[in-house]
Amino acid sequence: MSLALVFGASLANAGIMSVRLVHATDAEVGIDPGLSDIAAILSSLRFESFSLLGSDTVQLPAEDARIRMAQGYTLTCNGTQDDLAIEMNHNGRALLKTTATLRRGKPLILGGFPTREGKIILVLKVE
Amino acid sequence: MKNMPWRKIEETLREAGSDDVPVRDSDAFWEAFKARAAGETRNEPSPAPVVRFPAWLKAAACFAVIVTGAALLIPTPSNNSIVDAELSEITAIEVAAAHGEITTDESAEGTIVWVHGLELEDAGPNQIKAFDVAADHSAVTIMNDESTNSTILWIHGMELK
């Protein structure tokens, strides 16, 4: 019985988290087709254009999973879906450290990282 | 022969008898004939007596026949009924609640449909337990948007040197 509970708990914390790096600007109008599932969220932000710079996945639970992304950004993940430590780095410099509980299918948007034309947005979503 | 005086000859013989022909008295003859016809004095060996089965033995035999017939008609359950049956087949699956992967395993022993990550109740929004912004910034906004089921952590005024 206890083994089944442990197995069920491990299943509840297992999943694949998609990671997408988005560049938001006012230069062009439109949303990248790869962001169609979160178009409503992005539309609530005060930008005209959202382009997908890169995407990857992380298997949860993660153990020091590191993803190198465009424009010098690096994402490091540790922990389970219920207690996930996320660290955002830019050119080796830590910008943001946060710990979050992610619900399946509910995106977490980490934004506000500046570029010359706009902002960088990180979209995390457990599938 | 036809014109011979048979009655007279008979009376003569009856009265006088005959040494040549062993003639019996007619009454004695008919009595003996009737007796043989009735079977009372036949010298033939009597047939073997008919064997009569007792009533209880007939009833037992009928009961045995009925029981045997019923046993042959009633189907006997097979130990291999599961193996002999056709495999269950999943033709469609619809899960109304939020869930993850659905796996099916069809084998001779049975069919298993497993719905992973089934969430019967809304677990609520994402939760930011802690955060630390290392770079310069002016403010941080955390917003749970129910309409889009999303959480936004927005860093205002960040400057990358």
Rounded to whole angstroms, how far apart are CA atoms B23 and B18? 8
Long-range CB contacts (within 8 A, 24+) of A8-15: A11/B116, A11/B117, A12/A81, A12/B117, A13/A60, A13/A61, A13/A80, A13/A81, A13/A82, A14/A60, A14/A61, A14/A81, A14/B117, A15/A60, A15/A81, A15/A104, A15/A126, A15/A127, A15/B100, A15/B117
The answer to whether residues A73 and A21 touch, using CB atoms and an 8 Å cutoff, is: yes
| DSSP helix/strand/coil, B125 | coil
pLDDT band at A5 (very low <50, low <70, confident <90, very high): very low
Mean of the pLDDT values across residues A106-127?
93
Question: What is the per-residue pLDDT across B74-92, written as a single tens digit (0 to 9) for each?
Answer: 766 555 555 555 666 666 7
Does pTM top 0.90 for this prediction? no
Q: Which residues of A touch B134 (CB under 8 A)?
A: 93-97
| Residue B23, pLDDT score | 64
Mean of the pLDDT values across residues A61-86?
95
Q: What percent of chain A has pLDDT over 70?
A: 90
Q: Is A93 on the interface with B (CB under 8 A)?
A: yes
Beta-strand (E) ranges in A30-91? 30-31, 49-60, 62-68, 73-80, 83-90
| Residue B59, pLDDT score | 85
Complex ipTM, two decimals?
Answer: 0.84
Mean of the pLDDT values across residues B42-64?
72
| Residue A113, pLDDT score | 92
Q: Do B132 and A40 touch (CB under 8 A)?
A: no
Q: Do A106 and B100 touch (CB under 8 A)?
A: no
What is the average pLDDT value for chain A, to the nearest integer?
89
Q: How many residues does chain B have?
A: 161
Q: Is A59 on the interface with B (CB under 8 A)?
A: no
